[in-house]
Amino acid sequence: MSDVAVVDAVDAYLERKAVGDPDGSGAGTYASNAESILRRWAEWLERDHGLTAIDALEVDHMRAYAEELRRRTDRGEYTASTAGTYYAVVRAFCSWCVHGGILETNPAATDRAETALPTVDERPASDSWTATQRRKLERYVRDRALEAASRATRERRTRLREYAMVAVLAHSTVRGAELFRVPDDDRRTGATWQDVDFYTGTIRVLGKSQRLEDVPLPARARTPLRRYRVVLDPPSNDWPLFPTGHAPSIAARVRSALRERGYDDETIEAMFEDATAVELARERSIAPPAITTEGARSVLRRLCNGAGIDVDGDYLTPRGVRHQQADEPYRREATASKATLRASVLEQSIVVPAERPSVRDTEPADRDESTNAE
């Protein structure tokens, strides 16, 4: 059997799927959605297992991949159904390799590998938390935000951030992996202010469908978010809604951006002698990384402890805050009629029109008395 590289086999598979859609049956869309999944799987194989040749792929590799998907599900980065979809895409690719004579058998289609996947009916204990407990958490962060009115800017910003985070999770159908950064997933870098349209009351996210979706932001989520934005005062619309507070990550992003702008290392270090990474990011309009899903869980754990919310030692995760709402089916796929904010990430051929107006210029007045946090 020939020594075919995994990435070459993936390229051939995607090309075949993309060109095999003359009647618009959907194969081209499948190829677009599957591409990022398969490329990240190939990178993971090489990075974690040193595997580059497709004929070296074994059942143990696929079990390890299933276990990786399960860990990400346990951390709240994926839902169990999303993890299953990712695995199914890889399994279909391996099946194509078998039919094409590249693989002898499909290592993904085995009980040993598939039993390591999370099952759809597995739910964190926090999913069973009641509306009363969610309201208790929201009341706690709202009161803290109101109390911060006379405090220093940094403390007020922190509390407004906390309230905005809880309010968006509690009153919209936005998922944690759509709002925060998912490590090692270069498509999920966290929502930015450019994604928010206060005028239409929506936020654009990369949904479970792997497509951009416009999700409604009710006033009870929108008002805390807008008040938080005033205090945050992001220097540009590509600033994340919830930036990380991890100083080394911010410093690394600033250094990288400055190098890309042509500054040498000596000049960059001189800049850091006169200012912090956060100050430089603001001065130079360099968007810091968004908080990760795990970082958001840590914030919620701290808030639950402060609010005295505890169920058998558990705390409210992003999924637990976000109760299942009846309006979830009303999510709609984003279209080219609005700026497609992550089209380049999805590598879709969508014509992006003029940039939508600044959120500051399009905010209508909301009749909601809530305030926001950190």
Q: Which one is predicted more confidently, 39 or 133?
A: 39
Residues in CB range of 77: below 8 A, 6 or more apart: 176, 177, 182, 183, 185, 293, 294
Q: Domain end: 114, 147, 177, which one?
A: 114
Query: Does some domain include residue 178?
Result: yes
167: domain CATH number is 1.10.443
Query: Does some domain include residue 188?
Result: yes
Confidence of residue 119 (pLDDT cuts 50, 70, 90): confident
106 with 132, same domain: the answer is no
The per-residue pLDDT for 30 is: 61
Asked if 181 and 347 touch (Cβ cutoff 8 Å), the reply is: no
102 with 141, same domain: the answer is no
The per-residue pLDDT for 191 is: 95
The mean per-residue pLDDT over the stretch 91-119 comes to 89
- Cα R_g (the chain), whole angstroms: 22
Q: Domain end: 86, 114, 142, which one?
A: 114
Most confident of 35-39, 47-51, 110-114, 116-120: 47-51
Asked if 164 and 226 touch (Cβ cutoff 8 Å), the reply is: no
12 with 63, same domain: the answer is yes
List, for residues 287-346, the tens digit of each pLDDT value: 999 999 889 988 988 998 899 887 555 566 676 666 544 444 456 666 654 443 333 333
pLDDT at 258 over 90: yes
SS3 338: coil
Most confident of 104-113, 237-246, 362-371: 237-246
pLDDT at 61 over 90: yes
The mean per-residue pLDDT over the stretch 265-278 comes to 94
Phi, psi for 100 (deg, rounded to 5): -90, 0
Distance CA 243, CA 229 (A): 12
Query: Does some domain include residue 180?
Result: yes
Confidence of residue 270 (pLDDT cuts 50, 70, 90): very high
The mean per-residue pLDDT over the stretch 15-22 comes to 66
103 with 160, same domain: the answer is no
List, for residues 199-219, the tens digit of each pLDDT value: 888 999 988 777 888 889 888
DSSP 195-240: GEETTTTEEEEE-TTSSEEEEE--HHHHHHHHHHHHHH--SSTTSB
Host domain of residue 329: 126-244+289-362
